[in-house]
Structures are given as C-alpha cells and as structure tokens.
Structure 1
Amino acid sequence: MQRYKNLSGESGVLAYEIGDRSITIRFTGGDRYLYTDQSAGADNIAEMQRLATLGSGLSTFISQVVKERYARKLD
C-alpha cells in the first residue's frame, strides 16, 4: 500500500492501494476496506482514486459521499 500524503494533517486515511476499478483504504485505526465500482459506483471510485493520489480530501469524501458502501472489510 502507498502511504496517504494527508496534506491537511487531520485525515483518518493512512494508506491506499489503487486497483482496476477499485481502491483499498487503510484507516488510521488499522482497519482496511475494499471499495469497488460495484459497491460504491464507478464515478465515486474514480474520485477516490484521484483524491488518494492528490493526498487531500479522501477521508471527507468517504464519510460524506461513499459512507458504508464498501465491498468488504479486509483482515
């Protein structure tokens, strides 16, 4: 996984891994979640991937838009 830049210094996201039509997020508490086109919608996954690469806004986007629409919790 790639470390999230966390430009604000206040994000709940620690790391991410971009996949084909998916993104895996590790939150600061250690939990990992897989989000897919099917679970969260293709447009939302594209935006999550963009924000992850940017290093800003990902945690807010998840909490306000995507919410609990993950495909599964990992580990």
Structure 2
Amino acid sequence: MQRYRNLSGDSGVVAYEIGEDFVAVRFRHGVVYWYTEASVGARHVAALKRLAKRGQGLSTYISQHADVSGGYARKEPDD
C-alpha cells in the first residue's frame, strides 16, 4: 500500500492501494476496506482513485456518500 499524503492533516486514512477496478483504503484504526466497481460503481471508484492520488478528501468522500461508505466489497480487520 502507498502512504496517504493527508494534506489536510486530519484524515482517518493512512494508506491506499489502487488496482484496475478497485481502491483499498487503510484507516487509522488499521482496518482495510476494499471498494470495487462491482460494489460501489465505476464512477465512485474513479473518484476514490483521484482523491487517493491527490492526498486530500478521500475519507470525506467515503463518509459523505452512503452508497460508498456502506458499499465496500470486503473488510480486513486489523491484525
């Protein structure tokens, strides 16, 4: 995973991984959520990719779009 730049300084996101049709997001508490085109749609995955690369707005986007926040494909708990 790549470290999230966190330009705002207060994001809950610490890292992300981008694939062809998914974005995996690791939050501060250690849990990784996988958002796929099949689970949230191509439009949302494209937005998540853009925000992850930019380093700002990723956590906000996820929390403000109910179909994204509850639409993850899988969740990996912290070890």
TM norm structure 1:
0.96
Matches of 2:21 and 2:38, distance apart in 1: 9
Matches of 2:48 and 2:12, distance apart in 1: 14
Q: Which residue of 2 aligns with 1:44?
A: 44
Deviations 1:1-48 (A, max 9, x none): 000000000101000000111010000000001110010110000000
Match of 1:23, SS state, is strand
Match of 2:30, SS state, is coil
RMSD: 0.7
Q: Which runs of 5+ in 2 are unaligned?
A: none
Match of 2:70, SS state, is coil
Sequence identity percentage: 56
Structure 1 residue 74: Cα displacement: 1.9
Q: Which runs of 4+ in 1 moved over 2 A?
A: none
TM norm structure 2:
0.92
- The 5-angstrom pairing of residues 20-31 of structure 1 reads 20-31=20-31
